[in-house]
Amino acid sequence: MNSSNSLPKCSACQEDMTYPDGQNYVCAQCGHEWPMLTSEKEDEVSLIVKDAHGNLLADGDTVTLIKDLKVKGSSTTLKVGSKIKGIRLVSGDHEVDCKTEAGNILLKACFLKKA
């Protein structure tokens, strides 16, 4: 049996008879196994970002701008059709961190489409 709240309950049967086994948790009651996640990995898993067309985006994807975007604090404008490689997803209002000709910037996913 688990001691206090150190181990999670089984996601299948909701019993608190789980134990660690390598990189997984195992439920002694029903035999269900699921991977252990650190708090950093849980944040990554829960971060779901979709482009303007509803496609899921992931770290490392290549995207294209669907609209001209003026860069705040600069006279630079990112043109429609510009391809951006190797994006990184972050939490917040602007979900995509990327490198462009204007430098490192954060963009909203609603102005991007997956290439």
The domain that contains 70 carries what CATH number?
Answer: 2.30.30.40
Q: What is the pLDDT of residues 5-23, one digit of tens each?
A: 578 888 788 888 888 888 8
Mean pLDDT over 36-46 rounds to: 55
Q: Please indicate whether residue 40 or residue 52 has the higher confidence score (pLDDT).
A: 52
Statement to judge: residues 5 and 20 lie in one domain:
yes
Statement to judge: residues 46 and 89 lie in one domain:
yes
pLDDT band at 36 (very low <50, low <70, confident <90, very high): confident
| Nearest-angstrom CA–CA distance, 105 and 102 | 8
Statement to judge: residues 28 and 68 lie in one domain:
no
36: how many CB neighbours lie within 10 A of its CB? 13
Q: Please indicate whether residue 30 or residue 113 has the higher confidence score (pLDDT).
A: 113
Give the structural domain span for 103.
40-114
Q: Is the pTM of this model over 0.85?
A: no
51: how many CB neighbours lie within 10 A of its CB? 21
Statement to judge: residues 27 and 50 lie in one domain:
no
